[in-house]
Amino acid sequence: MSDLFVILVSTSLCGDVIFGLTLSIKFLLANKYSDFIYILMKIIGIFFLLPVFVISKHVINDSSTYYKVNYQSEDFNYIQQIDGFKKLDLLSDSPYISIVGIIILIWFVVFVLFYMVGSIQGMLLINKIMKRTTYCGVNQQSLLDELKGQLKIKKDIKLYKSDIVQTPFLTGIFYPKIILPNVSLTDEDWKLLMKHELTHYKNHDLLFKNLIELIQKIHWFNPFIYFYAKVFFESSELVCDQFTIKSATAKQRTKYANLLILLAAETPSNKAIASFSNSDYKVLERRIHNIMKKPSSKKKYVVALTTTCLLLSCPIVSYASTWGTMYLQDKLVTNIEEKNSIEESSSTLFVEMNDYSPASSDYVYAGDIGLRGINQVDYVLSATGEAHYQTINLNSGSTVRISLSSENSSDKYRVGIINGSGSKRYVSANKGMVSKEFSITEAGEYTIYFQGKNTNGQSIHLMGTININY
């Protein structure tokens, strides 16, 4: 769960940085070369959904490798996980885990609601408009076919008109349709309007608009993502305007600008449509300024070089943002551990108990064990089963140090030794861990054993060491 949390935060941070760099380039170029900026914005949008997740996951896996080692103090041995960034998942008994879970749940619920509401609104809007539409006349259809030939578009694009829309727009990714307002215009005007909408189709703007809407819903908690979407949509309109009037005269540019003003309308912001004009007068002003300025004759190699450098920086920014998020999470976990740590001696952590009842004969053989040195343990114990190692002879003064941990901190089990008369000395696991040294006060035969106490029926995977000092 913490991996998802890190990926979301790091991707948003990366997006903010890359978007900030893109705006800087846009500012330095004095809003020129909007086609380059638009292509760059498209690439960044795709990058958000694919490579960032791969890079983030790689950083998480590479930075979160943990090894279990034994630490020895004067009182007892204990097991701690080290090496790499601490992850919130390791704090399974902390209330902060439930907080992170709640945050992820809230994010998911809001994401689903936002996306579903947006999709439903889009479908309802299109259905409402389509109920009030009719096919356009032969004249307008022939103009559309002529423009499709010029733009080399083979797809069948339906042409409709409606009395409830005030500005033309394109809708339908797989079955494209152009809806025109039911107004009187010259053929030249209609050709300008339809060429603008066909350019949206040729640039796959509806597909990218849906993609940006998805990114916006995923990162709904990031305020900068809304500004990114606004800049993206404005860039798409600027590019379509430039292409539509690419070889236009000053008079034709003026006519096109007048059409923008004439058809300015309260067009709903919806991923299902790409409209010709809207009532955002600041955007309208920038579009008119872009239309009326003379085309730049400067070479674009500087822009291309800048774009390439920015794209090459994307993986670096992704890696840095993910690493930074992991580092902050590590500090958070460390602070949580320090605030919630409790000083406990071995006597309170693992209390040795005695069991004088007859030893059970219902057990499984765990294997052989060496009389001296460290024995590695990697054993799967049944939920309520009992496992014994082979019986060994120990002298008075010998010690048996058992340091184990299970995969789940909720696992309950006992470890201990059984003497020749069948009496048991044992300790119970604390948060899935056991670290205890048993002192031998009387020479004789002893058996090291494990006993499962899980009531949930889950087996217990034990790992660690048994160190016998003979």
pLDDT tens, residue by residue, 268-320: 454 445 555 555 667 777 777 777 776 555 555 666 666 667 666 666 666 66
pLDDT given for residue 387 in this prediction: 92
Question: 3-state secondary structure string, 342-358?
Answer: CCCCHHHHCCCEEECCC
pLDDT digit string (tens) for 182-241?
A: 888 888 889 989 999 999 999 888 888 888 888 888 888 888 888 888 888 888 888 888
pLDDT given for residue 35 in this prediction: 75
Evaluated on CA atoms 404, 410, 413, 416, the torsion sign reads positive
d(CA 111, CA 8): 12
pLDDT given for residue 90 in this prediction: 41
d(CA 343, CA 349): 10
d(CA 362, CA 378): 21
d(CA 204, CA 445): 80
pLDDT given for residue 329 in this prediction: 60
pLDDT given for residue 74 in this prediction: 40
pLDDT given for residue 302 in this prediction: 61
Give pTM, 2 decimals. Answer: 0.59
How many residues are listed for the chain in this entry? 470
Residue 332 neighbours by CB under 8 Å, 6+ apart = 88
pLDDT given for residue 448 in this prediction: 93
Sole residue written with tokens 């909007």: 34
Segments of the chain scoring below 70 in pLDDT:
1-7, 29-33, 47-100, 265-281, 294-308, 310-352, 354-360
d(CA 70, CA 194): 74
